[in-house]
Structures are given as C-alpha cells and as structure tokens.
Amino acid sequence: MKYRNPLIIGVTGGMGSGQSSACRVFEELGAHVINADIEAKNVIKRNRALQSDLKKVFGADISDKNRRLNTKRLAAIAFKDELNTRKLNQLVHPRMVEVLVEKMEKARFSGKYPIIIIDAALIFEISIERNFDYIVVVNAPINHRQKRVYQRDKTSRKDFNARVDKQIDLGDKVKWADFVIENKTTLDDLKRNSEEVFNKLLELQKSQEKPVKSKPKRKRTNNKSAKPKAS
C-alpha cells in the first residue's frame, strides 16, 4: 500500500523520560523514525565548516591530537553554562533541522509509511512544534529519569540536573502535548501505552488517507448521426 498522506509526528520528553524507547515501539509497529540526536551528531562529525566554527567558539581543546573533534569534550564545555549551550545550539540546530526536513520529506514521498516520527528532545525549545501534525510527549517522574540516565551513561546527579535545567519543564510539555505516554513503571507498561497512542494516530492517518477514485471508462459512441424518422 502506498501512503499519500502520512502523519508527521514529533515525539519529545525530557532527559531520561524514555522517548526513544517509545519510538522503538512505534518503529516496530510500522512508523519511520528519525532520531534528531543521532542526526545532530552526524552533522557535527561530517560538516567540516561546522567543526571549524565550533573550534573558533569553544577552542582547539575540543580536538584530539589528530585534530579530530572530541564530542565528549565538546559536550563538557558546551553544557557547562547556559551561554555556551546557546552558542552550541545556534551553530548546530539550524543545520540539524535542515537534515531532519530532508529526511522527513524523503520518507513522505516514498509513500512507504503511514506515520513518520521525529524523535527530538528539544522540539519546544527550538520552536519547531508547528511543523508536526501532532506532538507526543513521554512523561516520567524526575527520580526515574535520573536513575535511567545514570544506568545508561553514568551521568552524575549534578550533571543531570544541569542538563535538565536547560530544558523546558516536562510538566509544561505535557500540557502542550496532543498525546501523552506515561512511563512510570515497567518497560512492558511503556510498550502498552505506546501501542495505544500509535493505534490512535493510525486511525487519524486512515481518516485523512483519501483513496484515489479511478475515472469511469468512457462509453464508445457511434459518431454517425441517426437518421430522422419519416413523418
């Protein structure tokens, strides 16, 4: 089946809320998922002009001895304070958004997917929420989020709080969302809650997928005009 009008969905949350786990469920159910964090990292790695700009702003220390960009060192400096974070975002986000739009349009015109997902933590922070048909927010208690992030990459509570403080409060995102997926208990519950939201989105997509009506075949007509009956 070819989908002419796929839904474009933004999935967001807060650090450690589980939005990428929800997106993996969506992908298993047939959605096409584009991960903004991965694309941002790829932009930084591949764009030499951007790398040069980053070195000018954050110093040569963000490169290793082979002059390759050290993204961990860059993150440590960039997320040190709000000013540095803003500088990083101003350099990276416009280029990242270009890539997201390009990949989104490629997926849309392929006609393969009923739903196209952008998995991005900063949808509201960089004001791109109007580019989506619907916004899904994955919600989780702050203590659960901190624990997950520590288990994932050993981020300290101090660093976690510093990163979270630079994001819009998750409670506000929940208020602005079209759909909310709660992630307060087990992974199985998250999967079940994600499936429920996906099914609702699928119904919305089906309602706007108007079938193309085939044109009725023209009946052949005799070009010869009928002779008038004798009076």
| Sheet with strand 179-182: strands edge to edge | 32-35, 115-119, 7-12, 134-139, 179-182
Q: What are the chain's domains?
A: 7-208 (3.40.50.300)
Return the pLDDT at 9: 98
Return the pLDDT at 231: 41
Do 10 and 179 contact (CB within 8 A), yes or no?
no
Q: What is the mean pLDDT of residues 97-116?
A: 96
Average pLDDT, the chain: 88
Q: Provide, for the chain, the percentages of residues in helix, strand and coil under a 3-state DSSP scheme, each rounded to the nearest 5.
A: 55, 10, 35
Question: Global pTM?
Answer: 0.84
Return the pLDDT at 135: 98
**Token digits of residue 40:** 């941002």
Do 12 and 124 contact (CB within 8 A), yes or no?
yes
Confidence bin at 81 (pLDDT 50/70/90): confident
Is 28 a residue whose pLDDT tops 70? yes
Q: Determine the Cα–Cα distance for residues 121 and 117; give it in Å rounded to an integer.
A: 13
